[in-house]
Amino acid sequence: MIGQNQRTIGREVTVEGIGVHSGERAVLTFRPAPPDTGIRFRRLDLEGAPEIPADAAHVLGADLGTTIGCGDVKVRTIEHVMAALAAGAVDNAYLDLTGPEAPIRDGSFADFFRAIRDAGSVEQDARARTIRVQQPVAVTVENGESYVAVPGKGLRISATIEFAHPVIGRQYGSFPVDPDSFARELAPARTFGFLVDAETLRSRGLARGTSLENTVVLDEKGVMQGELRFPDEFLRHKVGDILGDLALLGARLEAHVVAERPSHRGNIRLVRAIAEAGAGEPVLPIVDAQKIMQYLPHRYPMLLVDRIIEFEAGKRIVGIKNVTMNEPFFQGHYPGHPIMPGVLIIEAMAQVGGLLLMDSVENPEDKVVYFMSLDNVKWRRPVTPGDQIVFELEILQLRSHTCRMRGVGTVDGHVVAEAEMMARIVDR
C-alpha cells in the first residue's frame, strides 16, 4: 500500500545503454533527493552539471519521444524512465545522466522499474502532491487523436490505437496503475517501429540507435524478430508512454484517462490541460443531489441525476450519473449480466435537460417539464455497474416555454447514447 507522504529511492542505482535516437552511450544514475525536489535530470557530461526539472514547463519537443530542456541543455526520450518512477510512486530523485538521451535498454520500461524496486524507497516527512481530476478534462488534437480524463479512484489508463498493419490493426485495453500491475502488465512492453520509416527517420537525426535488440520492428509481413511479449504489446507500450508523460505533472494523479490514438504530442497537451484544470481550488458540483430534488419532481428510484458540473444559462448543461450495482433495475434487467436499460439512460439525459430548462423560468418549484418527443435516438454501447455517465445537453431552439435540445451521454469518453428531444414547461 502506497502512503500519502512523498517518497524517494532508498539508494543509488545505475542503468546504462545507448540512446534510441542519438545512438550515443548513456549512463543514468538514480539518486535520493530531499522532499519537494521533484524529479530532476542532471547532465553530468556538461560543465556545471546543469539541472532540468522533469515537468511540463520544460518540455521542448514530443517527436517520437519526449524531450525536456533548459536553454541549450536537453535530455531526450525520458518517458520510459518517468513511467517507471510514476509507477513506483517515487516523488523525488536526482537522475544523473551522462549523454543527451536516456538509455533505451531493451525498449521497454522493465529495466528502469526493476532498478527502482531494487533500490527500495523511503517515505519522507512531507505530504505528496496529488491532483485529483474533479470534472472531465477533454483534449482533441487531430487525425482522430483525443483524450478525456474523468474522476476516478487511483489512476487508470484506457487507450485505443489503430495502425494499418496486419499485426496491429485496432487495439484497446484498460489498465490500473499500481506497482504490481505495472510490473506485470505494462513494464515488459517494448517500443516499436516500421522498417519502411527507418531511412526517413535517420535522415532526420532520429532512430540512430535502433536495433532489433531494443525495438519491435515490423516489415510489411509482420514482426521481424522473435515473439511478441503480449498480443497487444503495441497498445501496452503506448499506455506506458502515456503514464511517463503524465508524470510531468509533477504530482500523483487520481483519474481515469481515456486516450484515442495517443501520441507524445497529445499526451503533453493532456498534461497541460489537467494541470490548468487542477491549478485552482477543487471543483465542486454546481448543483448537488439535494438541490436537484428542489427542481425535479422525481425521487428514488426514478431520480437519475447525481450532480451538475457545468452550466451555461440558456445554452448547455453537463450532468453526472454514477451507475452502481445497487440500482433497483439491475435486479430484473439481464440478471447475471447487468446492463442499464436504454430507456433509463435517455430518461437520465432528459432529467439533466430538464434542469437546464427549469433555470429559465420564474418560481421553478411551481413548474414541471414534460417531454413531448424524441428523435434520432441511438444507443452506442452498453452501460454497466461501475460506469459514470457524463451527459452534455445543448439547446437547439427555445421558444416561450418549449425547447428543442440535443444530448450526448459518454462513459470514459465513449458515446453510449445520443438523442434530440422536445420539451415543454407547464404548471404543476
**Catalytic machinery residues:** 264, 333
Query: How far apart, in whole angstroms, are the C-alpha atoms of residue 15 and residue 113?
Result: 11
Task: Kindly provide the b/e burial profile for residues 73-94, where b requires at least 16 CB atoms within 10 angstroms of the residue's own CB.
Answer: bbbbbbbbbbbbbbbbbbbbbb
CB 243 within 8 A of CB 157: yes
Name the residue among 302, 287, 427, 303 with its Cα closest to residue 365. Answer: 427
Name the residue among 110, 109, 96, 99 with its Cα closest to residue 33. Answer: 96
Measured torsion, CA atoms of residues 410, 414, 419, 423, in degrees rounded to the nearest 10: 10
Query: How far apart, in whole angstroms, are the C-alpha atoms of residue 329 and residue 325?
Result: 9
Angle at 415 between CA 350 and CA 143, to 5 degrees: 140
Show the cell assigned to 264: 507524445
Angle at 235 between CA 230 and CA 240, to 5 degrees: 100
Query: How far apart, in whole angstroms, are the C-alpha atoms of residue 15 and residue 105?
Result: 8
Q: Find the helix packing angle between 79-87 and 110-119, rounded to 10°.
A: 40
Cβ contacts of 24-28, under 8 Å, gap ≥ 24: 24/99, 24/100, 24/101, 24/209, 25/98, 25/99, 26/97, 26/98, 26/99, 26/100, 26/101, 26/102, 26/103, 27/97, 27/98, 27/99, 27/103, 28/81, 28/95, 28/96, 28/97, 28/98, 28/102, 28/103
Collect all residues with Cβ–Cβ distance below 8 Å to 224 and sequence separation of at least 6: 195, 212, 217, 218
